């Protein structure tokens, strides 16, 4: 009998970035059962696992109660990454790659990458770059069809200060000659980013480099609707019925793109009574996840049915 465990794991990405992850595994009859059962690699949104409420924090323990292990990582996008300049969207795929390598080296054969909010877009980019052979599927929760388009739409709606277009013009000047290598970066605040007044709760903060690679018109890898057609893995979208951050039309758009590209292994489920965080309705969310994860053949890692 293999007992339950909760273990903190520290490891480095290819470029030396230090990552902390929490491995939560259930009780299994044998090590073979442990390593063949699906394990969910959980990738957080903007805040990171240890600050966010809902899915990033509570899902691992809920999954283990249903017989599924999980590995929650804090990527370079967590917390102050977008404020202090370390949270470059394109580079964050290295963090998922490193976490998958850790799990594969540990012996896990069927890895499912679950990205929540921003983490969903990062997870798609990771898969497009080329997923490890042990990665058998993606779960995308609250996934935006395009982070740049979503940001522009929201800033235009609230008439932000500065405007989306103004930020873009300033960023082009600040980040010369090359946004990836320039050392001429600085922090800026967007007022009225989430509402009509100037309260801190309705503002956003980035550096120009982090905004450039995640929100600008040049953030090509964050335009999920332009790259997701390359993903051939099974994909489950879960989306809060009352999501007030990402509209219903966004995962529906991504689903249509996948279907057109020939990926018939994609599914979309709306979670009743939930907003941007599906774990606001844990019973319905876990029922969907349990059913989908149980649909993998543990000996082959393939979906038994769609």
Q: Indicate the pLDDT class of residue 41, thresholds 50, 70 and 90.
A: very high
Number of folded domains in the chain? 2
Question: Is 210 a domain residue?
Answer: yes
CA-to-CA distance for 37 and 218, rounded, in angstroms? 40
Q: What tens digit of pLDDT does each residue of 2-37 get?
A: 888 889 999 999 999 999 999 999 888 888 988 999
CB atoms under 10 Å from CB of 279, counted, come to: 22
Q: What tens digit of pLDDT does each residue of 243-257 get?
A: 999 999 999 999 999
Structure tokens at 69: 């292990």
Question: Is 106 a domain residue?
Answer: yes
Same domain, 235 and 109: yes
Task: Print the domain residue range for 208.
Answer: 148-214
Question: Is 302 a domain residue?
Answer: no
Domain stop point among 214, 233, 255: 214
Same domain, 21 and 65: yes
Same domain, 174 and 284: no
Same domain, 123 and 34: yes
Question: Is there a contact between 142 and 240 (Cβ–Cβ < 8 Å)?
Answer: yes
Same domain, 257 and 195: no
H/E run at residue 270: strand 266-271
Question: Is 99 a domain residue?
Answer: yes
Domain stop point among 158, 187, 214: 214
Same domain, 249 and 102: yes
CA-to-CA distance for 201 and 198, rounded, in angstroms? 8
Question: Is there a contact between 202 and 195 (Cβ–Cβ < 8 Å)?
Answer: yes
Give the CATH number for residue 138: 3.40.50.1820
CA-to-CA distance for 30 and 22, rounded, in angstroms? 21
pLDDT at residue 147 is higher than 50: yes
Same domain, 239 and 103: yes
Domain stop point among 160, 190, 214: 214
Question: Is there a contact between 120 and 145 (Cβ–Cβ < 8 Å)?
Answer: no
Q: Indicate the pLDDT class of residue 50, thresholds 50, 70 and 90.
A: low
Structure tokens at 38: 């699906």
């Amino acid at each position: 009998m293999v007992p339950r465990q909760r273990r903190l794991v520290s490891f480095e990405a290819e470029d030396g970035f230090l990552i902390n992850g929490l491995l939560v595994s259930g009780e299994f009859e044998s090590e073979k059962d442990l390593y063949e059962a699906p394990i969910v690699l959980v990738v957080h949104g903007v805040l990171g696992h240890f600050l966010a409420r809902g899915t990033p924090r509570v899902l691992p323990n809920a999954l283990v109660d249903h017989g599924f292990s999980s590995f929650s990582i804090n990527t370079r996008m967590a917390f102050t990454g977008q404020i202090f300049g370390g949270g470059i969207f394109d580079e964050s795929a290295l963090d998922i790659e490193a976490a998958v390598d850790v799990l594969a080296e540990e012996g896990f054969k069927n890895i499912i990458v679950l990205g929540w909010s921003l983490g969903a877009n990062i997870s798609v980019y990771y898969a497009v770059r080329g997923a490890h052979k042990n990665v058998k599927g993606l779960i995308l929760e609250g996934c935006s069809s395009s982070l740049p388009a979503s940001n522009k739409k929201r800033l235009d709606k609230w008439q932000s200060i500065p405007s989306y277009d103004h930020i873009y013009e300033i960023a082009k000047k600040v980040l010369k000659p090359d946004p990836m290598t320039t050392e001429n970066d600085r922090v800026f605040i967007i007022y009225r980013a989430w509402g009509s007044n100037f309260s801190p709760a309705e503002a956003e903060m980035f550096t120009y480099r982090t905004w450039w690679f995640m929100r600008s018109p040049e953030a090509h890898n964050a335009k999920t609707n332009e790259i997701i057609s390359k993903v051939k893995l099974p994909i489950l979208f879960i989306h809060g019925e009352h999501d007030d951050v990402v509209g219903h039309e966004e995962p529906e758009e991504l689903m249509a793109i996948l279907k057109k590209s020939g990926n018939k292994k994609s599914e979309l489920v709306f979670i009743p009574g939930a907003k941007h965080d599906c774990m606001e309705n844990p019973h319905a969310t876990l029922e969907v996840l349990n059913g989908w994860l149980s649909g993998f053949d543990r000996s082959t890692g393939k979906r038994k049915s769609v």
